[in-house]
Amino acid sequence: MEFIKEAGVLFEIGLILVVGYLFGNIANLFKLPRVSGYIVAGIVMSPYMIGIIDQEFLDKSNVITHASLSIITFLIGSSLAWEKVKSLGKTIAYITLGEAEIAFLFVIITMAVYLLIFQDIDIKMLIALAFVFGALASPTDPTATLAVIHEFRAKGVLTTTVLGVAALDDATGIINFVLGYSVATSIVSGNDIKIVGILKDIFIQIGGAVFLGILMGYLMHFLGRFAEERKEVVTVTVGILFLTFSIAHAVGIDELLSTMTTGITLVNIDKENEKFKGPLENYIEDVIFTAFFVVGSAFLNLKVLAHYFPMVFVYVLSRFAGKFTGVYIGGHLSNAPEKVKKYLAFSLFPQGGIVIGLALLAYQNPEFRDIGVILVNIVIGATALHEFLGPVFSELALKKAGEIQKKV
Protein backbone atom coordinates (compact mmCIF):
# COMPACT_ATOMS: atom_id res chain seq x y z
CA MET A 1 0.00 0.00 0.00
CA GLU A 2 3.06 2.24 -0.18
CA PHE A 3 2.09 3.31 -3.70
CA ILE A 4 -1.28 4.59 -2.44
CA LYS A 5 0.48 6.77 0.15
CA GLU A 6 2.81 8.14 -2.53
CA ALA A 7 -0.09 8.80 -4.90
CA GLY A 8 -1.79 10.92 -2.23
CA VAL A 9 -5.28 11.77 -0.99
CA LEU A 10 -6.67 12.53 -4.44
CA PHE A 11 -5.83 8.97 -5.54
CA GLU A 12 -7.70 7.56 -2.52
CA ILE A 13 -10.75 9.71 -3.27
CA GLY A 14 -10.65 8.52 -6.90
CA LEU A 15 -10.54 4.89 -5.75
CA ILE A 16 -13.38 5.49 -3.31
CA LEU A 17 -15.62 6.82 -6.10
CA VAL A 18 -14.70 4.19 -8.73
CA VAL A 19 -14.75 1.17 -6.42
CA GLY A 20 -17.97 2.46 -4.80
CA TYR A 21 -19.54 2.80 -8.25
CA LEU A 22 -18.55 -0.79 -9.17
CA PHE A 23 -19.84 -2.23 -5.90
CA GLY A 24 -23.07 -0.27 -6.33
CA ASN A 25 -23.59 -1.94 -9.70
CA ILE A 26 -22.83 -5.35 -8.19
CA ALA A 27 -25.43 -4.68 -5.47
CA ASN A 28 -28.00 -3.92 -8.19
CA LEU A 29 -27.22 -7.27 -9.85
CA PHE A 30 -28.27 -8.96 -6.60
CA LYS A 31 -31.45 -6.83 -6.48
CA LEU A 32 -30.07 -4.73 -3.59
CA PRO A 33 -30.00 -0.92 -3.38
CA ARG A 34 -26.76 0.71 -4.54
CA VAL A 35 -26.13 1.99 -1.01
CA SER A 36 -25.57 -1.59 0.18
CA GLY A 37 -22.77 -1.90 -2.37
CA TYR A 38 -21.18 1.36 -1.21
CA ILE A 39 -21.19 0.09 2.38
CA VAL A 40 -19.56 -3.23 1.45
CA ALA A 41 -16.95 -1.33 -0.59
CA GLY A 42 -16.09 0.81 2.44
CA ILE A 43 -15.75 -2.20 4.76
CA VAL A 44 -13.54 -4.08 2.26
CA MET A 45 -11.31 -1.02 1.62
CA SER A 46 -11.04 -0.12 5.31
CA PRO A 47 -7.86 -0.19 7.44
CA TYR A 48 -9.28 -3.30 9.12
CA MET A 49 -9.36 -5.34 5.88
CA ILE A 50 -7.26 -4.65 2.79
CA GLY A 51 -6.28 -1.12 3.85
CA ILE A 52 -6.80 0.85 0.63
CA ILE A 53 -8.36 3.52 2.86
CA ASP A 54 -5.83 4.02 5.67
CA GLN A 55 -6.35 5.35 9.18
CA GLU A 56 -4.61 8.62 8.36
CA PHE A 57 -7.18 9.29 5.63
CA LEU A 58 -10.06 8.46 7.97
CA ASP A 59 -8.69 10.81 10.63
CA LYS A 60 -8.96 13.67 8.14
CA SER A 61 -12.14 12.54 6.37
CA ASN A 62 -14.55 14.77 8.31
CA VAL A 63 -14.46 17.32 5.47
CA ILE A 64 -15.99 14.66 3.16
CA THR A 65 -18.65 13.56 5.64
CA HIS A 66 -19.52 17.13 6.64
CA ALA A 67 -19.78 18.30 3.02
CA SER A 68 -21.93 15.28 2.15
CA LEU A 69 -24.24 15.69 5.14
CA SER A 70 -24.77 19.39 4.44
CA ILE A 71 -26.05 18.61 0.93
CA ILE A 72 -28.00 15.48 1.90
CA THR A 73 -29.89 17.17 4.75
CA PHE A 74 -30.63 20.16 2.52
CA LEU A 75 -32.22 17.80 -0.03
CA ILE A 76 -34.35 16.24 2.71
CA GLY A 77 -35.51 19.67 3.85
CA SER A 78 -36.20 20.82 0.30
CA SER A 79 -38.57 17.86 -0.15
CA LEU A 80 -40.88 19.26 2.54
CA ALA A 81 -42.98 21.89 0.83
CA TRP A 82 -45.87 22.95 3.06
CA GLU A 83 -48.46 22.02 0.40
CA LYS A 84 -47.11 18.46 0.41
CA VAL A 85 -46.90 17.87 4.16
CA LYS A 86 -49.77 19.92 5.63
CA SER A 87 -52.25 17.05 5.25
CA LEU A 88 -49.78 14.79 7.08
CA GLY A 89 -48.73 17.30 9.74
CA LYS A 90 -50.59 15.59 12.58
CA THR A 91 -49.39 12.13 11.49
CA ILE A 92 -45.75 13.25 11.26
CA ALA A 93 -45.85 14.95 14.68
CA TYR A 94 -47.51 12.04 16.51
CA ILE A 95 -45.32 9.40 14.88
CA THR A 96 -42.08 11.32 15.51
CA LEU A 97 -42.94 11.80 19.15
CA GLY A 98 -43.95 8.15 19.52
CA GLU A 99 -41.02 6.47 17.77
CA ALA A 100 -38.34 8.73 19.28
CA GLU A 101 -39.53 8.61 22.89
CA ILE A 102 -40.55 4.95 23.00
CA ALA A 103 -37.21 3.92 21.46
CA PHE A 104 -35.51 6.08 24.11
CA LEU A 105 -37.37 4.29 26.93
CA PHE A 106 -37.13 0.78 25.45
CA VAL A 107 -33.35 0.99 25.10
CA ILE A 108 -32.85 2.39 28.62
CA ILE A 109 -34.86 -0.44 30.19
CA THR A 110 -33.50 -3.25 27.98
CA MET A 111 -29.84 -2.23 28.27
CA ALA A 112 -30.18 -1.79 32.05
CA VAL A 113 -31.56 -5.33 32.40
CA TYR A 114 -28.89 -6.78 30.10
CA LEU A 115 -26.04 -5.02 31.91
CA LEU A 116 -27.41 -6.09 35.29
CA ILE A 117 -27.53 -9.76 34.26
CA PHE A 118 -24.43 -10.13 32.08
CA GLN A 119 -21.96 -7.36 33.03
CA ASP A 120 -20.12 -6.78 36.29
CA ILE A 121 -20.60 -3.01 36.54
CA ASP A 122 -21.25 -0.76 39.53
CA ILE A 123 -25.01 -0.09 39.79
CA LYS A 124 -24.61 3.68 39.51
CA MET A 125 -22.47 3.31 36.39
CA LEU A 126 -24.91 0.71 35.04
CA ILE A 127 -27.85 3.12 35.24
CA ALA A 128 -25.80 5.96 33.74
CA LEU A 129 -24.65 3.76 30.84
CA ALA A 130 -28.23 2.64 30.15
CA PHE A 131 -29.30 6.31 29.96
CA VAL A 132 -26.48 7.08 27.51
CA PHE A 133 -27.54 4.17 25.28
CA GLY A 134 -31.13 5.41 25.48
CA ALA A 135 -30.00 8.92 24.55
CA LEU A 136 -28.31 7.51 21.44
CA ALA A 137 -31.34 5.47 20.33
CA SER A 138 -33.63 8.23 19.06
CA PRO A 139 -31.70 9.75 16.12
CA THR A 140 -32.26 8.22 12.69
CA ASP A 141 -29.79 8.56 9.82
CA PRO A 142 -32.03 9.59 6.91
CA THR A 143 -29.19 9.39 4.38
CA ALA A 144 -29.62 5.72 3.47
CA THR A 145 -33.40 6.08 3.21
CA LEU A 146 -33.10 9.20 1.02
CA ALA A 147 -30.63 7.38 -1.25
CA VAL A 148 -33.09 4.52 -1.72
CA ILE A 149 -36.01 6.93 -2.28
CA HIS A 150 -34.11 8.74 -5.02
CA GLU A 151 -32.67 5.57 -6.60
CA PHE A 152 -36.13 4.02 -7.03
CA ARG A 153 -37.96 7.35 -7.55
CA ALA A 154 -40.35 6.57 -4.72
CA LYS A 155 -43.46 8.71 -4.32
CA GLY A 156 -46.47 8.50 -2.05
CA VAL A 157 -47.76 8.99 1.46
CA LEU A 158 -45.14 6.73 3.07
CA THR A 159 -42.28 8.50 1.26
CA THR A 160 -43.54 11.94 2.31
CA THR A 161 -44.07 10.77 5.91
CA VAL A 162 -40.55 9.29 6.05
CA LEU A 163 -39.02 12.60 4.97
CA GLY A 164 -41.16 14.58 7.41
CA VAL A 165 -40.34 12.30 10.34
CA ALA A 166 -36.64 12.37 9.41
CA ALA A 167 -36.68 16.17 9.56
CA LEU A 168 -38.27 16.22 13.04
CA ASP A 169 -36.30 13.21 14.26
CA ASP A 170 -33.10 15.20 14.46
CA ALA A 171 -34.71 17.70 16.83
CA THR A 172 -36.21 15.00 19.08
CA GLY A 173 -32.88 13.17 18.98
CA ILE A 174 -31.13 16.29 20.31
CA ILE A 175 -33.67 16.65 23.13
CA ASN A 176 -33.27 13.02 24.17
CA PHE A 177 -29.48 13.10 23.98
CA VAL A 178 -29.19 16.26 26.05
CA LEU A 179 -31.70 14.85 28.57
CA GLY A 180 -30.26 11.32 28.79
CA TYR A 181 -26.61 12.41 28.80
CA SER A 182 -27.26 15.06 31.46
CA VAL A 183 -29.00 12.52 33.70
CA ALA A 184 -26.17 10.02 33.17
CA THR A 185 -23.39 12.47 34.04
CA SER A 186 -25.32 13.70 37.08
CA ILE A 187 -25.74 10.12 38.36
CA VAL A 188 -22.04 9.30 37.93
CA SER A 189 -20.76 12.56 39.40
CA GLY A 190 -23.27 12.58 42.25
CA ASN A 191 -24.55 16.06 41.32
CA ASP A 192 -28.18 17.16 41.25
CA ILE A 193 -29.96 17.09 37.89
CA LYS A 194 -30.26 20.72 36.75
CA ILE A 195 -33.50 21.04 34.79
CA VAL A 196 -32.90 24.69 33.87
CA GLY A 197 -29.48 23.89 32.42
CA ILE A 198 -30.89 20.98 30.38
CA LEU A 199 -33.70 23.14 28.96
CA LYS A 200 -31.21 25.88 28.13
CA ASP A 201 -28.99 23.44 26.18
CA ILE A 202 -32.00 22.10 24.26
CA PHE A 203 -33.20 25.62 23.40
CA ILE A 204 -29.77 26.71 22.18
CA GLN A 205 -29.24 23.57 20.09
CA ILE A 206 -32.65 23.55 18.38
CA GLY A 207 -33.57 27.25 18.42
CA GLY A 208 -30.15 28.31 17.17
CA ALA A 209 -30.19 25.74 14.37
CA VAL A 210 -33.66 26.75 13.18
CA PHE A 211 -32.78 30.47 13.28
CA LEU A 212 -29.56 29.95 11.31
CA GLY A 213 -31.32 27.69 8.78
CA ILE A 214 -34.08 30.25 8.14
CA LEU A 215 -31.51 33.04 7.77
CA MET A 216 -29.39 31.08 5.29
CA GLY A 217 -32.47 29.91 3.38
CA TYR A 218 -33.46 33.53 2.76
CA LEU A 219 -29.86 34.37 1.82
CA MET A 220 -29.82 31.51 -0.72
CA HIS A 221 -33.14 32.74 -2.14
CA PHE A 222 -31.76 36.29 -2.46
CA LEU A 223 -28.48 35.32 -4.11
CA GLY A 224 -30.23 32.84 -6.39
CA ARG A 225 -32.11 35.70 -8.02
CA PHE A 226 -28.84 36.85 -9.59
CA ALA A 227 -27.78 33.36 -10.74
CA GLU A 228 -29.03 32.89 -14.27
CA GLU A 229 -27.23 29.68 -15.25
CA ARG A 230 -27.35 26.28 -13.54
CA LYS A 231 -23.63 26.25 -12.82
CA GLU A 232 -24.00 29.55 -10.95
CA VAL A 233 -26.94 28.17 -8.95
CA VAL A 234 -24.87 25.13 -7.93
CA THR A 235 -22.04 27.41 -6.77
CA VAL A 236 -24.40 29.51 -4.65
CA THR A 237 -26.24 26.49 -3.21
CA VAL A 238 -23.16 24.48 -2.23
CA GLY A 239 -21.39 27.57 -0.91
CA ILE A 240 -24.32 28.54 1.35
CA LEU A 241 -24.68 24.97 2.63
CA PHE A 242 -20.99 24.66 3.51
CA LEU A 243 -21.17 28.03 5.30
CA THR A 244 -24.30 27.00 7.19
CA PHE A 245 -22.83 23.70 8.38
CA SER A 246 -19.53 25.33 9.39
CA ILE A 247 -21.15 28.21 11.26
CA ALA A 248 -23.41 25.80 13.15
CA HIS A 249 -20.40 23.68 14.10
CA ALA A 250 -18.41 26.71 15.22
CA VAL A 251 -21.13 28.15 17.48
CA GLY A 252 -22.16 24.79 18.94
CA ILE A 253 -25.63 24.26 17.46
CA ASP A 254 -26.90 21.25 15.50
CA GLU A 255 -25.38 21.24 12.02
CA LEU A 256 -27.82 18.80 10.40
CA LEU A 257 -30.91 20.62 11.65
CA SER A 258 -29.42 23.91 10.37
CA THR A 259 -28.88 22.72 6.79
CA MET A 260 -32.19 20.83 6.82
CA THR A 261 -34.00 24.01 7.89
CA THR A 262 -32.25 25.87 5.06
CA GLY A 263 -33.88 23.46 2.61
CA ILE A 264 -37.29 23.69 4.30
CA THR A 265 -37.13 27.49 4.25
CA LEU A 266 -36.10 27.71 0.61
CA VAL A 267 -38.75 25.32 -0.72
CA ASN A 268 -41.47 27.28 1.06
CA ILE A 269 -40.43 30.82 0.05
CA ASP A 270 -39.08 30.33 -3.47
CA LYS A 271 -41.45 29.25 -6.24
CA GLU A 272 -38.42 28.42 -8.40
CA ASN A 273 -36.80 26.23 -5.71
CA GLU A 274 -36.38 23.38 -8.20
CA LYS A 275 -33.48 25.27 -9.80
CA PHE A 276 -31.56 24.90 -6.50
CA LYS A 277 -32.15 21.23 -5.72
CA GLY A 278 -32.53 19.96 -9.32
CA PRO A 279 -28.82 20.27 -10.27
CA LEU A 280 -27.77 18.71 -6.97
CA GLU A 281 -30.07 15.70 -7.50
CA ASN A 282 -29.13 15.29 -11.17
CA TYR A 283 -25.38 15.88 -11.16
CA ILE A 284 -23.90 15.86 -7.65
CA GLU A 285 -26.07 13.58 -5.54
CA ASP A 286 -24.58 10.26 -6.70
CA VAL A 287 -21.02 11.46 -6.04
CA ILE A 288 -22.06 12.60 -2.57
CA PHE A 289 -23.82 9.33 -1.68
CA THR A 290 -20.91 7.21 -2.95
CA ALA A 291 -18.25 9.17 -1.05
CA PHE A 292 -20.31 9.41 2.14
CA PHE A 293 -21.19 5.73 2.47
CA VAL A 294 -17.83 4.32 1.38
CA VAL A 295 -15.90 6.58 3.76
CA GLY A 296 -18.40 6.17 6.61
CA SER A 297 -18.37 2.38 6.30
CA ALA A 298 -14.56 2.30 6.39
CA PHE A 299 -14.78 3.16 10.10
CA LEU A 300 -16.56 -0.11 10.81
CA ASN A 301 -14.48 -2.94 12.25
CA LEU A 302 -16.09 -6.37 11.83
CA LYS A 303 -13.91 -7.81 14.62
CA VAL A 304 -15.43 -5.27 17.02
CA LEU A 305 -18.90 -6.22 15.80
CA ALA A 306 -18.18 -9.92 16.40
CA HIS A 307 -16.68 -9.34 19.88
CA TYR A 308 -19.60 -7.28 21.20
CA PHE A 309 -22.31 -8.89 19.07
CA PRO A 310 -24.68 -9.99 21.90
CA MET A 311 -24.78 -6.48 23.37
CA VAL A 312 -24.98 -4.89 19.92
CA PHE A 313 -27.89 -7.19 19.05
CA VAL A 314 -29.78 -6.24 22.22
CA TYR A 315 -29.30 -2.52 21.48
CA VAL A 316 -30.35 -2.81 17.82
CA LEU A 317 -33.36 -5.01 18.56
CA SER A 318 -34.67 -2.90 21.46
CA ARG A 319 -34.22 0.30 19.43
CA PHE A 320 -36.16 -1.14 16.46
CA ALA A 321 -38.87 -2.50 18.76
CA GLY A 322 -39.25 0.99 20.22
CA LYS A 323 -39.38 2.60 16.78
CA PHE A 324 -41.95 0.07 15.51
CA THR A 325 -44.15 0.39 18.60
CA GLY A 326 -43.92 4.19 18.56
CA VAL A 327 -44.78 4.40 14.85
CA TYR A 328 -47.82 2.16 15.32
CA ILE A 329 -49.12 4.05 18.38
CA GLY A 330 -48.47 7.47 16.79
CA GLY A 331 -50.03 6.32 13.53
CA HIS A 332 -53.08 4.94 15.34
CA LEU A 333 -53.63 8.16 17.32
CA SER A 334 -53.32 10.29 14.17
CA ASN A 335 -55.39 7.97 11.94
CA ALA A 336 -52.46 7.41 9.59
CA PRO A 337 -52.87 5.13 6.56
CA GLU A 338 -52.35 1.45 7.36
CA LYS A 339 -49.23 1.17 5.21
CA VAL A 340 -47.59 3.99 7.15
CA LYS A 341 -48.26 2.21 10.46
CA LYS A 342 -46.98 -1.11 9.12
CA TYR A 343 -43.90 -0.09 7.14
CA LEU A 344 -42.58 3.31 8.30
CA ALA A 345 -40.44 1.88 11.12
CA PHE A 346 -38.36 -0.09 8.60
CA SER A 347 -37.38 3.16 6.88
CA LEU A 348 -36.32 4.58 10.27
CA PHE A 349 -33.97 1.66 10.95
CA PRO A 350 -30.69 3.23 9.69
CA GLN A 351 -28.45 4.98 12.21
CA GLY A 352 -25.07 6.39 11.22
CA GLY A 353 -22.13 8.65 11.80
CA ILE A 354 -23.75 11.30 14.00
CA VAL A 355 -24.41 8.69 16.69
CA ILE A 356 -20.74 7.65 16.65
CA GLY A 357 -19.89 11.33 17.18
CA LEU A 358 -22.24 11.52 20.17
CA ALA A 359 -20.77 8.30 21.60
CA LEU A 360 -17.26 9.74 21.26
CA LEU A 361 -18.45 12.81 23.16
CA ALA A 362 -19.48 10.58 26.06
CA TYR A 363 -16.26 8.55 25.74
CA GLN A 364 -14.17 11.71 26.15
CA ASN A 365 -15.90 12.51 29.44
CA PRO A 366 -13.54 11.47 32.30
CA GLU A 367 -16.55 10.30 34.30
CA PHE A 368 -17.09 7.48 31.75
CA ARG A 369 -13.43 6.47 31.46
CA ASP A 370 -14.04 2.92 32.71
CA ILE A 371 -16.89 2.03 30.39
CA GLY A 372 -16.29 4.44 27.49
CA VAL A 373 -14.56 1.81 25.36
CA ILE A 374 -17.55 -0.54 25.68
CA LEU A 375 -19.91 2.29 24.73
CA VAL A 376 -18.00 3.34 21.59
CA ASN A 377 -17.42 -0.20 20.34
CA ILE A 378 -21.07 -1.18 20.76
CA VAL A 379 -22.24 1.95 18.95
CA ILE A 380 -19.79 1.32 16.08
CA GLY A 381 -20.90 -2.31 15.90
CA ALA A 382 -24.55 -1.27 15.89
CA THR A 383 -23.81 1.26 13.15
CA ALA A 384 -22.44 -1.58 11.00
CA LEU A 385 -25.74 -3.45 11.27
CA HIS A 386 -27.91 -0.34 10.94
CA GLU A 387 -26.12 0.98 7.86
CA PHE A 388 -25.95 -2.37 6.06
CA LEU A 389 -29.49 -3.54 6.76
CA GLY A 390 -31.06 -0.06 6.66
CA PRO A 391 -31.13 0.36 2.85
CA VAL A 392 -32.49 -3.18 2.42
CA PHE A 393 -35.27 -2.51 4.94
CA SER A 394 -36.05 0.85 3.34
CA GLU A 395 -36.39 -0.70 -0.12
CA LEU A 396 -38.57 -3.48 1.30
CA ALA A 397 -40.86 -0.96 3.03
CA LEU A 398 -41.28 1.16 -0.11
CA LYS A 399 -41.98 -1.95 -2.22
CA LYS A 400 -44.60 -3.24 0.23
CA ALA A 401 -46.21 0.21 0.27
CA GLY A 402 -46.33 0.21 -3.56
CA GLU A 403 -44.46 3.51 -3.86
CA ILE A 404 -41.46 2.50 -6.00
CA GLN A 405 -41.76 4.04 -9.47
CA LYS A 406 -38.58 2.68 -11.09
CA LYS A 407 -38.75 -0.89 -12.37
CA VAL A 408 -36.50 -3.27 -10.43
The residue ranges of every structural domain in the chain are 63-292+309-400
The reported pTM is: 0.75
Identify the pLDDT of residue 52.
87
pLDDT, one tens digit per residue, over 192-234 is 667 777 778 778 888 898 999 999 999 998 988 887 776 788 8
The class level of CATH for 63-292+309-400 reads mainly alpha
Tell me the pLDDT tens digit for each residue of 312-370. 999 999 999 999 999 999 999 999 999 999 999 998 888 765 676 667 667 667 777 66
Q: If DSSP states are collapsed to H, E and C, what string results for the chain?
A: CHHHHHHCHHHHHHHHHHHHHHHHHHHHHCCCCHHHHHHHHHHHHCCCCCCCCCHHHHHCCHHHHHHHHHHHHHHHHCCCCHHHHHHHHHHHHHHHHHHHHHHHHHHHHHHHHHHHHHCCCCHHHHHHHHHHHHHHHCCCCHHHHHHHHHHCCCCCHHHHHHHHHHHHHHHHHHHHHHHHHHHHHHHHHCCCCCHHHHHHHHHHHHHHHHHHHHHHHHHHHHHHCCCCCHHHHHHHHHHHHHHHHHHHHHHCCCHHHHHHHHHHHHHHHCCCCHHHHHHHHHHHHHHHHHHHHHHHHCCCCHHHHHHCHHHHHHHHHHHHHHHHHHHHHHHHHCCCCHHHHHHHHHHCCCCCHHHHHHHHHHHCCHHHCCCHHHHHHHHHHHHHHHHHHHHHHHHHHHHHCCCCCCCC
In the predicted model, what is the mean pLDDT of residues 41-58? 88
- 367-394 pLDDT, tens digit per residue, is 776 676 677 778 877 877 887 788 889 8
**Mean pLDDT (whole number) for 144-163:** 85
pLDDT at 37 over 60: yes
